[in-house]
A and B are shown apart, each in its own frame.
Chain A
């Protein structure tokens, strides 16, 4: 205690001035919004890149003059060159996986709501928090630089397999400086994410309000906590991998590059490196990364579903344990990305089993959501629509995992559109549905204004149907052996199926365009939306016990004391059919059960 008084106060006074308030702010809420904004920019960039790829794929002769203006070498005469197609592909993957799927559901919403949901005034290390965002921002800038340098963006895909990614100029356009920027950007991103994860864990462990036991944390907070544990491990491994890659590229070392490679007629001055090493390190990060993307959305969706069902989940505990076991298993399965890479065939079986095993907790989760829906009073609004859509997407994307988890089937389906459809649905669309749901749900709290419901619903219908139209055909084309990452289909046998590709492209254009409805809704509601009450959804968790938007120190004068589990719905409360976590009143269960 005596020593405690020696402490300099950690608490920060209300920030003064524009810079401290909105740019280099220590406030987790501002930082959360900054992450969200960055993800928003990244996701629209990535989406437009995917448009360009889809268009080029089905209309190779299409001339895109504005693209020639943007990159003369990339699109001479407005026609996308093979290498520029791969540049678009690489940047699309990198932007989406790192700057959207890692930032939006985890860093953005986590930063904003984790401290509030556990009754803390701020993150454990506000300065680290600020650093983590600006590091991530720097990573994004470095990556974007690849677009403007004459060399162009890298063409090695977001997995950047060595030695293609490690040998430099000879590997092709974009591989001299573009690829270096890529490696640097990812390394920086790792640092930012590590700082963030550290902050999340410390905050969850130590800053919980009185009475907020771990088991009383909302499921979203649980998801962010588990995710930060995964992220800490994953990015701590990707960072070394990137350092080795950069050394191979610029310091002449041979970690990944074996001897005797002749690329572009040049004998490479390396010896003894192991390309498999990169794949191992990368996928040791890469597979957990899938769960870094999807787990927060699972938590957010559970959090929102319970609210719109007006009744508790069948068992929050089971949901938590399922998410934990998914996080745990995610570290035993990286090899299933490498079944055909030349590992010992025995290890394929060793990796296949845990991969299949992940379906058990995943199924349990799904059944928990479905089972809880039974006998509920589902309130349909944009948020709950996206939450329900998430379940549908998660199942659709999940079942295709059955195929890919089996090495024998992988012999046929590996690197086909089946894989692309699988991870776009389960990792991309599903977790983005979580983000959409979260946005419609929390926007009132973050801005003090409601979002436009009818625009939200329109956005849902177009997105929901649209994404199925885009990604279901991926699976079919995979079954007939349509190989991924091809800029055009010179294969004779593809001719009869090009119609499907056209269909997918048109679906992609429409679905993508409908995202601008969402963007408009965001901006419009931010300024013109109708004012939001403190607790518009009659929700129970702590974020709804404070004004919208929250004051700079979240709970102002009072320090919340938690009396209940997070989801006291369907009960007789003073305010209605729910009892808030911080209200001392007794919980009286409603009639029925």
Chain B
């Protein structure tokens, strides 16, 4: 679709004055940024996947050596899982609303719900860490606890980044309609769903291995 518009714009753009040209480019770059950012986020997702794959293989290697024990996962983790799954759902609704152009107010509500759920998840995770500390299980207590704190913390960190972006987007939505960055929003949706999937994977990993 864009190649035609692209060429037409570029052909006319030559004639346009400098200022007009820039605005012409806005449209051009608009479609471009739609396209490029979509592949960008997938590349990012791939990179994060690789890092956690590396941690996983490290875990398997470490499991082979001497002092591997067992770690009782705090129950609150399952609640957190539900929260994160729910947040994915609400964000999906928001995306749906937005693409159907039903005004951004409704969508913004769902975005707010999502980021609140995301925050709740982070709080819940820190709760899990506190529970473990209460049992006297710290980062360096045994390899299992090391891996648990490490993986959950890094994942929570990524979720926080997602929350930050959602805050920004919610602001944009509430502020005004025309400057909303749809491409960024779409990427955030991909990223957020990926965080949910990643967490489910991590939970299963911890259950089976730790």
Contact = CB atoms under 8 A, between A and B. Distances in A.
Q: Do chains A and B touch in the complex (CB under 8 A)?
A: yes
A7 B62 contact: no
A125 B29 CA distance: 12
A163 B159 CA distance: 33
Contacts of A280: 57, 61
Contacts, number: 162
Contact of B29 (A11, A244, A259): A11
B162 interface: no
A247 B150 contact: yes
A277 B65 CA distance: 11
B29 A281 contact: no
A8 to B, nearest CB: 5
B34 A7 contact: yes
B54 A201 contact: no
Contacts of A9: 23, 25-26, 29-30
Contact of B36 (A206, A254, A276): A206
Interface in B21-64: 21-23, 25-37, 39-40, 43-44, 46-48, 50-51, 54-55, 57-58, 61-62, 64
A62 B7 CA distance: 68
A3 B40 CA distance: 19
Nearest to A237: B54
B102 interface: no
Contacts of B179: 8
B37 to A, nearest CB: 7
B143 interface: yes
B34 A11 contact: no
Interface stretch (A333-341, A372-380, A436-444, A555-563): A555-563
Given A203-B36, A233-B50, A251 B61 contact: no
Interface residues of B, number: 62
B68 interface: yes
Interface stretch (A267-275, A316-324, A528-536): A267-275
Interface stretch (B84-92, B180-188, B193-201): B180-188
A176 to B, nearest CB: 18
A240 B40 contact: no
B153 to A, nearest CB: 10
Given A233-B50, A253-B140, A558 B14 contact: yes
A251 B7 contact: no
Contacts of B135: none
A557 B21 contact: yes
Contacts of B14: 557-558
B65 A273 contact: yes
A7 B181 CA distance: 5
Q: Is the interface of B mostly helix, strand, loop or mixed?
A: helix
Interface-central residue, A9, A201, A247, by most chain B CB under 10 Å: A9
Interface-central residue, A210, A253, A277, by most chain B CB under 10 Å: A253
A8 B14 CA distance: 22
A65 B118 CA distance: 60
Nearest to B55: A240
Interface string A1-22: 1111111111101000000000
B62 A277 contact: yes
A241 interface: yes
A523 interface: no
A133 interface: no
B39 A252 contact: no
Contact of B54 (A197, A241, A557, A561): A241
A4 B30 contact: yes
Contacts of B25: 9, 11, 121
A183 B197 CA distance: 30
A-B pairs, top 7 by smallest CB distance, nearest first, are A9-B26, A206-B36, A559-B10, A252-B140, A236-B50, A272-B67, A202-B40
Interface of B: 1, 3, 5-7, 9-10, 13-14, 16, 18, 21-23, 25-37, 39-40, 43-44, 46-48, 50-51, 54-55, 57-58, 61-62, 64-68, 99, 101, 139-140, 143, 146, 150, 154, 177-183
Interface of A: 1-11, 13, 121, 124-125, 194, 197-199, 201-203, 205-207, 210, 232-233, 236-237, 239-241, 243-244, 247, 251-255, 258-259, 271-274, 276-277, 280-281, 284, 557-559, 561
